[in-house]
Amino acid sequence: MRLYTNAASANGYKVELLLALLGRRYERIEVAIFAGESRTPAFLQKNPAGRIPVLERDDGTSLPESNAILWSLARDTAYMPAASADRDRALAWLMFEQSEVEPVIGSVRFWLQTGRAAARPDELARRLDGARQTLALLERELGGRPFLVDDRASVADLAVYGYTHLAPEIDLPLGPHVRAWCDRIAALPGYVAGAVRYDASARVA
């Protein structure tokens, strides 16, 4: 397998985290997205949307979208809940992550670390408020159980963890239950840290 990704992307990081936890071998290909490498004709054949991550599987087919990749990789592993109802709940968390986590925590992190925040103060404030609401929801949900779906980590936790654990980078504190959940994920055998901060190549004047 080949994973096309970028070290600053938490969407890419959560895929790398699952691959590490599963002990899966793969070739990692860093895509210089701010130099236009995700917009080349060759890359657009892998993902017409021009986004990372993209998983190129052993049969040569490409799968884009981070949570679709997570779902595919987790299938038939310990990170996919066994019960049908729990799988449905896990899928709901993957959808929640892309609507209520990545667009708020992820966008604000990107804007602040790359000099894009000053141009959108109203939208920045709105998304910061949304991020606080998301973190408060997670604090409530994790108050009575160790993980999001059942008593062990699943694909749902890895999807939500990717951006959530980076909230302190945008000066949003994690509640005690969310911090403890993050610690439990970081203690999983095979855990790898990420994502890195955006570097100078991503900055605008």
CATH of the domain at 55: 3.40.30.10
Which of the 8 DSSP states describes residue 199? -
Residues 124, 39, single domain; the answer is no
Residues 43, 93, single domain; the answer is no
Residues 131, 154, single domain; the answer is yes
CA separation for the pair 11, 9 (Å, rounded)? 5
SS3 147: coil
pLDDT of residue 74: 98
Residues 57, 99, single domain; the answer is no
Any idea which residue has 């894009």 for tokens?
116
Residues 113, 57, single domain; the answer is no
CA separation for the pair 117, 79 (Å, rounded)? 36
Relative to beta strand 27-30, strand 54-56 is unpaired
pTM: 0.96
Name which of 91, 176, 164, 94 is nearest 133 in CA terms.
164
Residues 106, 46, single domain; the answer is no
Residues 89, 71, single domain; the answer is no
CA separation for the pair 88, 111 (Å, rounded)? 33
Percent composition of the chain: helix, strand, coil (DSSP 3-state, to 5): 55, 5, 35
Residues 68, 91, single domain; the answer is no
pLDDT of residue 205: 80
CATH of the domain at 181: 1.20.1050.10
Residues 108, 17, single domain; the answer is no
Instruction: Give the range of the structural domain holding residue 125, as residue numbers without chain letter.
Output: 84-186
Residues 129, 163, single domain; the answer is yes
Residues 65, 26, single domain; the answer is yes
Number of independent structural domains in the chain: 2
Residues 61, 119, single domain; the answer is no
Q: Which residues have a Cβ under 8 Å from the Cβ of 176 and sit 6 or more positions away?
A: 139
Spell out the per-residue pLDDT of the chain, length 205, in tens: 999 999 999 999 999 999 999 999 999 999 999 999 999 999 999 999 999 999 999 999 999 999 999 999 999 999 999 999 999 999 999 999 999 999 999 999 999 999 999 999 999 999 999 999 999 999 999 999 999 998 999 999 999 999 999 999 999 999 999 999 999 999 999 999 999 999 999 999 8
